[in-house]
Amino acid sequence: MQKVARNFFTLAVIYALFGMALGLQMAISKDHGQMPTHAHTMVAGWLMSAVFAFFYHLFPAIGQKTLATVHFWLTAISGIGLLIGLYIMLGGNPAIEPLVATSSMGFYAGLLLFAYIALPVVWKAERLLEAQKA
């Protein structure tokens, strides 16, 4: 696994560890007030980062581009800000909401960037496969 794919996969595993620890903490305490944070950690953190990792692993040349590195850092920084901010906000501190909102927009921008990077590659790969069959 090369750099960006490895970085996203490492980030995914870290999200999974934190998300599952939060889930266990909620179950043990019987306080499920952080359920939205847990869900965001597991889906936006673990699942999306793993998907990004495997995309860049399948298309290593794309992972070597500067735009892929920008995608990683935008997603990592905004995702971590989103989850920490959400945890603090749901813990009773609504003053952190601007961080949650800004991080959410950054995370969405990361997904838009991924769409810009990935969709042309996937469609081009499909056309190449069809041409090889003909």
Residues listed for the chain: 134
Tokens 């609504």 sit on residue: 94
Q: How far is CA 10 from CA 29, 64, 125, in A?
A: 29, 17, 27
Q: What would the mean pLDDT of 56-71 be, rounded to a whole number? A: 95
pLDDT, tens digit, for every residue of 7-62? Answer: 999 999 999 999 999 999 999 999 999 999 999 999 999 999 999 999 999 999 99
| Annotated domain spans of the chain | 3-132
Cβ proximity of 38 and 83 under 8 Å: no
- Residue 21, classed as helix, strand or coil, is helix
